[in-house]
Amino acid sequence: MTFHTETPEQTRRLGLRLGRLLRGGDVVCLYGNLGSGKTTFTQGAAKGAGFRGRVVSPTFGLARQYRARRLTLYHLDLYRVGEDTGDIGLEEFLRDPRAACLIEWPEAAKAYLPPERLDARLSHRRSGGRTLTFKARGGRASRLLRGLSGR
Ligand SMILES: Nc1ncnc2c1ncn2[C@@H]1O[C@H](COP(=O)(O)OP(=O)(O)O)[C@@H](O)[C@H]1O
Ligand SMILES: [Mg+2]
């Protein structure tokens, strides 16, 4: 399933819609080059999950935690981890049944990603906007995607 966004606000808006649907145990992988909109999308998702604070890239350390009443969201950025360098303690984040995980640069933890997850690939469009292509892995992710498409 593919979405096009023309502005950062639209990317945030799409993230917000997904964030509203997220539940504990959900994992969303965000693939895409630097500047493709992964953090922008995550800002919307955190808002949709009910978080009211500021969302920025997890520059210091790998992860940030956004606590909302309904849900905790872990925002991981594995850019500095590099290509599949092995165990980075992902299990600790995935183990929390009350939390959902959004992972930028998930390539770095390929072997540790759960089989059930929602994959999103973000890319630049020639128009200046972004393309976001989602692929559901497993039943829960399919339901998320149906929710996102409004069906
Ligand atoms: N649809 C869009 N059109 C134009 N710019 C966008 C769009 N979506 C996001 N951006 C902008 O792209 C820039 C990089 O986004 P960011 O989310 O930090 O990327 P990443 O986390 O993938 O490196 C930001 O300035 C953001 O506002
Ligand atoms: Mg980012």
| 128 Cβ inside 6 Å of ligand 1 | yes
In the chain, how many domains are there?
Answer: 1
Q: What is the pLDDT of residues 93-113, one digit of tens each?
A: 888 999 999 999 999 888 889
pLDDT band at residue 41, thresholds of 50, 70 and 90?
Answer: very high
pTM score of the predicted model:
0.95
In a domain, 121, yes or no: no
Residue 38 lies in a domain: yes
Which amino acid is located at 69 in the chain? R
Q: Which residue's CA is the closest to the ligand 1 atom numbered 27?
A: 8
105 Cα: distance to centroid of ligand 1 (angstroms): 15
- Residue 114: inside a domain, yes or no? no
Residue 8, SS3 per DSSP: helix
Task: Name residue, tokens 């009910």.
Answer: 50
- Going by C-alpha positions, the residue among 115, 122, 121 that lies closest to residue 140 is 115
Q: Is 59 within the bounds of a domain? A: yes
The domain that holds 28 is classified in CATH as 3.40.50.300
In the numeric block, which tokens belong to residue 15? 């993230």
136, part of any domain: no
Asked if residue 130 is part of any domain, the answer here is no
Q: Which residue has the tokens 């890239």?
A: 57
For residues 107-144, b (16+ Cβ closer than 10 Å) or e, as one string?
Answer: ebbeeebeeebbbbebeeeeeebbbbebebbeebbeeb
Beta carbon of 58 within 6 Å of any ligand 1 atom: no
- Domain residues for the domain of 73 are 1-84
